[in-house]
Amino acid sequence: MPGALTPELRAALEARLPADTLRDAEPRYLEEPRGKWHGRAGALALPRSADELAQIIRFATENGIAVIPYGGGTGLVSGQVAPGLEAPLLVSLERMRRIRALHADENVIVAEAGTSLAQVQEAAADAQRLFPLSIASQGTAQIGGVLSTNAGGVGVLRYGNARDLCLGVEAVLPSGEVWHGLTRLRKDNTGYDLRGLLIGAEGTLGIITAAALKLVPRPAQKGTALFAVASPEAALAALTLLREIAGEGISAFELISAQGLAFLDETGPDYRAPFAEPRPDWMILVELGLASGPSPQEIFEKFFEAGRADGLLADGIIAQSAAQAADLWHLREAIPEANKRIGSISSHDISLPLGAVPEFITRAGAALDAHGRYRVNCFGHLGDGNLHYNVFPPEGESRDAFMPMAGEVQALVHEIAVSMGGSFSAEHGLGRLKTGDLARFGDPARLAAMRAIKSALDPQGIMNPGAVLPEKD
């Protein structure tokens, strides 16, 4: 197990680096968004280049110091915060936030790891291109963190997740070597996929310092609509129907439940209720991005007519302006904040084979009813089979009384998802919260291969110890 950055080691490292590269970590680097876990730090390193970072990592390797890479700090599984470590060295890439190049004809942008996701989207928009990865934390999340967690979000259905959108990376490996892997090639079959390994490794195999990312053309026409659907089955059937009508033009297909709107009412954020009472139990928020041909309005009208005739859709709102579209998206994006204010007993980021989603919702709901009294807010990226299935105490009751049940609730939800061919972590990663689930549900051969890769690349285990890999029995 790697050790702490003691004051003596900190002074020795400081002497090797340019002035103002190390400093004390302010509290924000030691917290995470849900406010549940807190870390400590021997120091915070703020390198200005991959070479400077390589020097830092070489020192950490020589002296067996634990290193925690820190991006925007928006990760939801405590990968960036290590409560169990005494005084690790935190590394933030916030000084490395240059867009190094934008090749509009190739649809490629090369950005340093400390660039925020929103900055990359803006640079792409300035060049009349789109970087299609979109998550609610994009103003703060950084490219390094987004790749290291293999983030998903609302555009995966059409454009894929962070791994799918990355062509090459530059990284500092645990040995302290810089890997210059910033290729812009779409085809490069030259051995093991080290890029693919670093993406989603949550800082356990090295630190990403820059990435070459795919851009796509900006759709000429965009449309947003919210529909009331009869049930989760109807929502899935509606996805199939919309695919027949809109083809590849569907950019987002999100599920919202009546419980989500009830939480918005309860916590009071400013929003406009979309449908009259009685509220539908389930809604789908759909975005279209089309090149040319029929307009989104025409497609949505055709979809609504056919969906109503099939008994799938009950009501609908087609946004008539950018402001109305933003209002509809606000509904979806305000739900995580409302969840936070209500306070979940246990939150789950699960994925399922698409066809299994409705049965999962029925089975998990019945199992929770049999277990205790809970409220469930089930929402998320339905088009990807990715549900955020969050469990809360009954209205007016304190969460504290229910927290002793949190472990059982989580096990129950994850067990049902895995038994149906799903995953217990769809897009947030494992961090330190889900290593136990990997030990429990992970394929033993895969886990052994993961351990072998970790010890080959990081024999001293200095990179983000405690994250991703479960401790051995």
For residue 464, state whether it binds ligand FAD (rule: CB under 6 A): yes
- Closest approach, Cβ 116 to ligand FAD, in A, equals 8
For residue 146, state whether it binds ligand FAD (rule: CB under 6 A): yes
For residue 288, state whether it binds ligand FAD (rule: CB under 6 A): no
Residue 375, classed as helix, strand or coil, is strand
Residues contacting ligand FAD: total by CB under 6 A? 37
Rounded Cα distance, 179 and 25, in Å: 27
Closer of 336 and 442 to ligand FAD (Cβ): 336
For residue 377, state whether it binds ligand FAD (rule: CB under 6 A): no
Closer of 330 and 363 to ligand FAD (Cβ): 330
Question: Which residues, in sequence order, are bridge partners of residue 375?
Answer: 392
Q: Taking CB under 6 A as the criterion, which residues in 420-459 touch ligand FAD?
A: 427-428, 431
For residue 19 the two structure tokens come to 């002035």
For residue 414, state whether it binds ligand FAD (rule: CB under 6 A): no
Among residues 48, 50, 51, 45, which one has the least CA distance to residue 9? 45
Closer of 280 and 380 to ligand FAD (Cβ): 380
Among 152, 174, 219, 232, contact with ligand FAD (rule: CB under 6 A): 152
Q: Taking CB under 6 A as the criterion, which residues in 100-129 touch ligand FAD?
A: 113
Among 21, 74, 347, 410, contact with ligand FAD (rule: CB under 6 A): 74
For residue 243 the two structure tokens come to 């695919």
Whether residue 141 contacts residue 421, with contact meaning beta carbons closer than 8 Å, is answered with no
Among 2, 73, 88, 470, contact with ligand FAD (rule: CB under 6 A): 73
Rounded Cα distance, 65 and 72, in Å: 22
For residue 76, state whether it binds ligand FAD (rule: CB under 6 A): yes
CB nearest ligand FAD: which residue? 145
Rounded Cα distance, 5 and 22, in Å: 12
User: Which positions from 195 to 224 touch ligand FAD by CB under 6 A, shown as an x/- string?
Assistant: -------xx---xx----------------
Closer of 33 and 64 to ligand FAD (Cβ): 33
For residue 90, state whether it binds ligand FAD (rule: CB under 6 A): no
Closer of 172 and 412 to ligand FAD (Cβ): 172
Structure-token match 């809604």, residue found: 283
User: Which positions from 156 to 195 touch ligand FAD by CB under 6 A, shown as an x/- string?
Assistant: ----------------------------------------
CA 156 to chain centroid:
11
Encode 95-104: b = buried (16+ Cβ within 10 Å), e = exposed.
ebbebeebee
Whether the link from the prior residue into 69 is cis, omega within 30° of 0, is: no
For residue 121 the two structure tokens come to 């989207």
For residue 336, state whether it binds ligand FAD (rule: CB under 6 A): yes
- Closest approach, Cβ 312 to ligand FAD, in A, equals 26
Whether residue 216 contacts residue 291, with contact meaning beta carbons closer than 8 Å, is answered with no
Write 233-237 long-range contacts (CB < 8 A, 24+).
233/358, 234/282, 234/311, 234/312, 234/313, 235/282, 235/284, 235/312, 235/382, 236/354, 236/355, 236/357, 236/358, 236/382, 237/310, 237/312
> 193: phi > 0 → left, psi -120 to 50 → alpha, else beta; which?
beta
Give the total residue count for the chain. 473
Among 63, 80, 377, 425, contact with ligand FAD (rule: CB under 6 A): 80
Closer of 61 and 318 to ligand FAD (Cβ): 61
Among 2, 42, 71, 200, contact with ligand FAD (rule: CB under 6 A): 71
Among 2, 47, 75, 383, contact with ligand FAD (rule: CB under 6 A): 75
Beta-carbon count within 10 A of 405 CB: 17
Among 42, 47, 88, 145, contact with ligand FAD (rule: CB under 6 A): 145
Closer of 334 and 409 to ligand FAD (Cβ): 334
For residue 132 the two structure tokens come to 């299609």
Task: Please give the span between the terminal C-alpha atoms of the chain, in angstroms, as a whole number.
Answer: 15
Instruction: Quote the DSSP letter at residue 319.
Output: -
For residue 148, state whether it binds ligand FAD (rule: CB under 6 A): yes
**Contacts with ligand FAD, residue ranges (CB under 6 A):** 33, 68-76, 79-80, 93, 113, 135-137, 141-142, 144-146, 148-149, 151-153, 202-203, 207-208, 336, 427-428, 431, 464, 467
